[in-house]
Structure 1
């Protein structure tokens, strides 16, 4: 298991149940660690070698699951007084590392498409989308990180 070094970020292994007519991919149960209510669920895709730049939710908890493809997530903690202030956490999730990452409010996240085919992301968020509770950095270089 990957060592998480950002306070409040959780990695939760998920079950994949093989069935000859189609597999079942677990996402989240209300009894799971990281569940903090339900606001909305949505799917998003990211193309191979594309990166979606930094975003920080001020109130929303994100729960990302990658059932198809592979997506690399980088988390940055700039919360003043956090025990992990200035730390980065880098993890690739997908078919070969099927886990859910829970990202608390107040930390930055950016992600890139690693899988060469289709990369599908499910977000199980505790709040409905509100454009007033999110901050964005339009350029990846605004937070210095070696993506190589």
Structure 2
């Protein structure tokens, strides 16, 4: 399976398999043998309703591995890592069953996301470390640091 480097330093997009089955498909998430695997801390689901937004959040130690098995979710990433080749740049991608990929986000990148699908939109995060509220930073969607133009 090929991993694609995104237009943002350190962010990976990995096409992952859907194995069709007449009784219900099997949707891959992450294997320990893949380049995107750093370590395992925990896995959790997050639901976002249509046109609702969550973010901005930046993890200082956690690597995110995001998969959208249900619905469609738009992700916006912002790079404020000084010295990065994509400093002050945005990267956007939508994930769904039609674009079934894993988005790997290293520590230090801001992320927000929003529901695009009509019903529930569910993401799975296979995180490299267990949740620790001390290792992340949050900002409101509208703030003076990230100048994103919400539609």
Same fold (TM over 0.5): yes
Q: Secondary structure at the match of 2:77?
A: strand
| 1:5, distance to aligned residue in structure 2 (A) | 1.6
| 1:104, distance to aligned residue in structure 2 (A) | 0.3
Q: Are 1:61 and 2:69 counterparts? A: no
1:12-51 alignment runs, 5 A limit: 12-51=14-53
Match of 1:91 among 84, 93, 96: 93
* Correspondence for 1:75: 77
Q: In structure 1, how many angstroms separate the alpha carbons of the residues matched to 2:111 and 2:76?
A: 6
Is 2:4–2:12's contact at 8 Å kept on the other side of the alignment? no
Structure 1: tracts of 5 or more residues without a match = none
* Correspondence for 2:116: 114
Q: Are 1:146 and 2:149 counterparts? A: yes
Paired residues in the alignment total 147
| 1:3, distance to aligned residue in structure 2 (A) | 7.2
Structure 2: tracts of 5 or more residues without a match = none
Q: In structure 1, how many angstroms separate the alpha carbons of the residues matched to 2:4 and 2:75?
A: 13
Q: Which runs of structure 1 show a deviation greater than 3 angstroms over 4 or more consecutive aligned residues?
A: none
Q: In structure 2, how many angstroms separate the alpha carbons of the residues matched to 1:68 and 1:135?
A: 27
Q: In structure 2, how many angstroms separate the alpha carbons of the residues matched to 1:25 and 1:66?
A: 10
Q: In structure 1, how many angstroms separate the alpha carbons of the residues matched to 2:127 and 2:150?
A: 26
Q: TM (normalized to structure 1)?
A: 0.95
